[in-house]
Structure 1
Amino acid sequence: MAAVETKVPEYFTGKLQPEDDADDDWGTKTIVLKPDELSYALGKKGMTRKKLAKSSGCIVEYVGYTVFMSGTREERARAEEYLGWLFEQLKGPVYVTGWEDRDDCTCVDVPRDCVGYVTGARRATLGKIEEEWGTLMFFMSTNMRARDRDRDDRGRQEFDGSEKLAIFGPRRGRRGAELKVMSAVETKRPGYFTRDIQMHTSEQEGFASDTYPMDESELSYALGKDGTTRRKLARASGCIMEYVGQVAFICGTIEQRTRARTYLKWLLKQRHGSVYVDDLRDRDDVTIVQVPRDAIGFVTGNRGSSLRHVEEESGTFCFVEGGRGESEQLLIFGHIRADRELAERLVNQLVDEKMRDDERRYDDRRRDYGRGRSFSRDRDYRRRSYSRDRDYRRRSYSRDRDYRRRSYSRGRDDSRDRGRGGRSYSRGRDYDRRRQ
């Protein structure tokens, strides 16, 4: 409908009457917007519409200038209320009265000097958190909290040093967004939230939070480059995991929190050596892949780069346990079976690639070895041929030299004979002259 309405305005909304299925648990409510309101309600690339839908749990779509909100009665009411707050912010600060009694709201006190850092340039940081966790967030002006301060002579209320950031949405999304904000504040004001926090494990079956303090070296290792290690632990365990200062907050059901704590402990143990898992056969969140020892280095990659790529692609937590035979055990952990199967396929592809490369190099070496033997035979043949040629040239040179010597000797003897013949002729001529 939205696509058709873009090409043919008012095709669906021209004769549309305001709709509100107030008596039905599931229904649709429509609201007609003004032209200048639509762009604000839509947001850049539809981000505002999307966050309204995710935070309220309602289907929100714009057909022309008409907003269609479909869902349960509660979802429609939330979506309409959230949309109204967005338009109120155009006129000034918004304060939600009775937010403490709402089941869709969490508030975080943000220090005055951290408000800009949490908000970001042109609201970029808050927008990113809203997109990640499916929430609606805005600062409720402290000037509107009458019970927290007194008015001055001009009727204004003095600022008390902090702003309340309101977070609306489902419980899990609100907790994730809250921890993101706490982490940002802790960066600017160390110890603001974590000064008195110690290790805590909740026994509550449902949604709850655990805390796990770490030292600086553990935090750096557990965080990873750009937070990749933290995200993979959270995704593999199905748990919310956020680091506020040097404290890991682990939130979820008891099964999710137990997995996340175990994965985190295994990760930190890897700094000092191999990790062995005793209860492998009893776990339902692991897939075991036998990797040949010759291929384990290729599978892990340079400084673990290949294995990290597998983890990022599949949303799993992987490490080599070590083995005592011709292969080593690669353990793939994750609460979703399909993710573990994807990781297993990626690992097997790496092993196959390594085996093919080894076979190719072996064949190349065999060919090179064969060519080397032929070259050796050719070289020996050339050496023998060269030796024979050299001997032949030596003998030929020797014969030629002897021949030249003999020829020279004969020529010299002939010269001597010619010399003696000349002297005899001279003496005979002189004798004939004397007789005359």
Structure 2
Amino acid sequence: MAAVDRRLPGFFAERCPPAPNPSNLFGFDVAVVALPPSDGGACARCRSKIAAASEAVVEVLAKHAFIAGENDERRRAQAFLSVLVPNAGPNGEAVALPEELLDCCSHVRVPAAAVSAVSGPGRAALGRIEEDTRCLAFWLPPGTPVAGRVSPEDGIAVGAGEICAVGARVDGRWETQWHGAKLLGRGSSEGWVRILWDFDGSEQQVQAVDVRPSGEADGRWRVLAVVGPERARCACVFQVMAASEAAAPGTWTKDLAEAQLEARDGKSEDEVFCGVDAFRHEGTVGELDWLRASPSGKQALAGASRASGCIIQLVGQVFLLGGFPAQCARGREYVQWACKSRMQMGIAHLRGSAAPGAGRGLSVVDADMRDDVSVLTLREAQVALLRPDRIVGIERETATLLVFDDGGGSAMEAGARRLLICGEAEKPRAQARARVEAVCG
């Protein structure tokens, strides 16, 4: 239809629009939407993002848009095309979200000090995150409240009435300066709270009005609304949190429970489809450098994510994982396995030299008994044929993770190596095994 309208302008958009089927409330249908005068080409520039975030088929031609999909998909796409995208500010600011998009929206707070880093010049950094995660993100007005972070029953009112949980990071006023502190609880009198100062480790009772949530020293939080399918939103929120942590260290790594709550948009585990887990990196600084800076480290992290079926994001020194509990448990193991199996080669490449004493190699004792691991024994000559680029190619094509271990305590013949093919599904592992055998001969 869009192709016809390009050749015969207005044929479908104006003269012969597809007739809607009023009885087809849930099935696939097609609609034509007239774009508002405020559009200015924004919908055409964001067409692929609108299609991905709404899960509808979207084509934009001049002043009209063709939408195809089920009722909910068309409804979301029309809200993007008619209201949100045309009226967004130059950096993606939105006054409010249309009601049609509230059921597919998550919120993530960004400290004011990190807003420019998250957005990037001309919104380039945030645009890359949108492209990567197939979501659309919009800045809400300063001071926009977000629900579910801390309830009044569970928290303590400080500052101008903000609710903070016991143990939360806060800023306390000492004379005329603000200093970091930890909220310990209510004070002995109404309107007073107990805090633990960062600068000397002392505990003190202060007036609640002299305490504010951490991050207020640089201005209020900005709230970013992320719209799209739930799993895609989780990946987008993770990347935004990673960018915030890089610009304002400690924002999400001081309190993992708070980081998990933020990633769930303030909801409990029972209220979300895509659960969130977090753990601190327990290895060396060299491993973190490898994971962040080395192409092989980034590829290993991506391989662990694909094989486990969960979203994995490195935020400072913390790993955030999104998915079902079993997927997150596998993801945590696969990250550790990838580091132990591939780290030495990766660090050597990063530093331009060997990395003696980089740590013990991988040893998976129960590999033969696991239902997510297939074991293949190779000779050293075959291992030499399995170059890193070939391993990465096999992992990408089969959604698996390939790592070598020391045999897990099993007796290995001289010159033999054990390859573990990891993944949550048996069929991709079988495909990966066939590919490895074809490469090794």
- When the two structures are superposed, what TM-score results if normalisation uses the length of structure 1? 0.67
Q: How big is the shift at 1:116?
A: 1.7
Q: Could you tell me how far 1:322 is from its partner in structure 2?
A: 4.0
Contact 1:10 1:64 in 2 (8 A): no
The answer to whether the 8 A contact 2:310-2:328 is kept is: yes
Q: CA 1:93 to 1:268, structure 2 compared with 1: closer, same or farther past 3 Å?
A: closer
Which of 200, 221, 244 is the matching residue for 1:185? 244
Deviations along 1:248-279, one digit per CA (max 9) or x if unpaired, are: 01110122112112212323444533433333
CA deviation string 1:325-369 (max 9, x = no partner): 2633211112344543443344224323xxxxxxxxxxxxxxxxx
**In the alignment, is residue 75 of structure 1 matched against residue 73 of structure 2?**
yes
In the other structure, the counterpart of 1:297 is 384
Q: How many angstroms does 1:187 deviate by?
A: 0.4
Indicate which of 264, 272, 286 corresponds to 2:335: 264
Deviation at 1:18, TM superposition (A): 7.4
Partner SS for 2:256: coil
Tell me whether 1:207 sits opposite 2:274 in the alignment.
Answer: yes
Q: For residue 165 of structure 1, give the secondary structure of its aligned residue in structure 2.
A: strand
Q: Does the CA contact (< 8 Å) of 1:95 and 1:144 recur in 2?
A: no
Aligned residues of 2:304 and 2:338 also touching (Cα < 8 A): no
Larger radius of gyration: 1
CA contact (8 A) 1:274 1:322 kept: yes
Alpha carbons 1:135, 1:173 under 8 Å: kept: yes
From the superposition, tell whether residues 81 and 206 of structure 1 become closer, same or farther in structure 2 (CA, over 3 Å).
closer
TM superposition shift of 1:31: 0.9
Alignment partner, residue 52 of structure 2: 54
Q: Per-residue deviation at 1:291?
A: 1.4
Is 1:327 aligned to 2:416, yes or no?
yes
Identity rate of aligned residues, in percent? Answer: 28
Distance 1:203 1:74 in 2: 25
Q: What secondary structure is seen at the aligned counterpart in 1 of 2:244?
A: helix
For 2:38 and 2:337, the matched residues in 1 are separated by 55
1:194 corresponds to 2:257: no
CA contact (8 A) 1:22 1:73 kept: no
What is the match of residue 132 of structure 1?
132
Match for 2:364: what amino acid?
A: V
Is the CA contact 1:20–1:30 (under 8 Å) kept in the aligned structure 2? no
| Counterpart residue number, 2:375 | 288
User: What RMSD over aligned residues (CA atoms) do the two structures have, in Å?
Assistant: 3.5
Structure 1: runs of 5+ lacking an equivalent: 150-158, 353-436
| CA gap 1:187/1:264 in 2 versus in 1, 3 angstroms | same
Could you tell me which amino acid in structure 2 is paired with residue 208 of structure 1? G
What residue number does 2:121 align with?
121
* Contact residue 130 and residue 137 of structure 2 kept, 8 A: yes
The corresponding residue for 2:349 is: none
TM-score by length of 2: 0.66
SS of residue in 2 equivalent to 1:3: helix
Corresponding letter in the other structure for 1:112:
A
Q: 1:87 is matched by which residue type in structure 2?
A: P
Partner residue, 2:306 = 235
Shift of 1:239: 0.4
| 1:367-423 deviations in Å (ceiling 9; x for gaps) | xxxxxxxxxxxxxxxxxxxxxxxxxxxxxxxxxxxxxxxxxxxxxxxxxxxxxxxxx
Aligned partner of 1:289: which letter? Answer: L
Residue pair 1:321, 1:328 contacting (<8 A) in 2 also: yes
Q: Say which is worse superposed, 181-190 or 220-229, in terms of deviation.
A: 220-229
Once the 2 structures are TM-superposed, how far is the Cα of residue 63 of structure 1 from its aligned partner? 5.1
1:137 partner SS: strand
Q: What is the one-letter code of the residue matched to 2:303? A: K
Is residue 337–residue 403 contact of structure 2 (8 Å, CA) maintained in 1? no
Instruction: Give 1:220's aligned residue.
Output: 289
**2:84 touches 2:97 (CA, 8 Å); kept in 1?**
no
Q: What secondary structure sits across from 1:275 in the alignment?
A: coil
Structure 2 CA distance for aligned equivalents of residues 294 and 143 of structure 1: 63
Structure 1: how far apart are the matches of 2:80 and 2:36? Answer: 17
Which string of whole-angstrom CA distances, capped at 9 and with x for unpartnered residues, describes residues 24-54 of structure 1? 22233321236884732111xxxx1121122
- Equivalent in the alignment of 1:343: 432
Which residue of the partner structure matches residue 43 of structure 2?
41
> C-alpha separation between the residues in 2 aligned to 1:72 and 1:246?
42
State the distance in 1 between where 2:395 and 2:276 align.
25
Matched, 1:142 2:209: no
How far has the Cα of 1:178 moved from its partner? 0.6
Equivalent pair of 1:207/1:254 in contact (CA under 8 Å): no
Tell whether 2:28 aligns with 1:30: no
Whole-Å Cα distance in 2 between the matches of residues 111 and 222 of structure 1?
25
The CA deviation at 1:185 is 0.8
Structure 2 contact 378–416 (Cα < 8 Å) conserved = yes
- Choose 327-336 or 213-222, whichever is displaced more: 213-222
Amino acid at match of 2:105: C
Q: 1:192: Cα distance to partner?
A: 0.9
Matches within 5 A, 1:353-368: none
Q: 2:233 aligns with which of 163, 174, 181?
A: 174
TM superposition shift of 1:16? 2.3
Question: What SS does the corresponding residue of 1:103 show, helix, strand or coil?
Answer: helix
Indicate if the aligned counterparts of 1:240 and 1:251 stay in contact, CA closer than 8 A: yes
Alpha-carbon separation, structure 1, partners of 2:380 and 2:97 = 64
- Whether the aligned pair in 2 keeps the contact of 1:233 and 1:264 (CA below 8 Å) is yes
Q: What residue identity is the alignment partner of 1:329?
A: R
Q: Is the 8 A contact 1:289 1:331 kept in 2?
A: yes
Question: Partners of 2:61 and 2:389 in 1: how far apart?
Answer: 47
Counterpart in the other structure of 1:316: 400
Residue 312 (structure 1) shift = 4.3
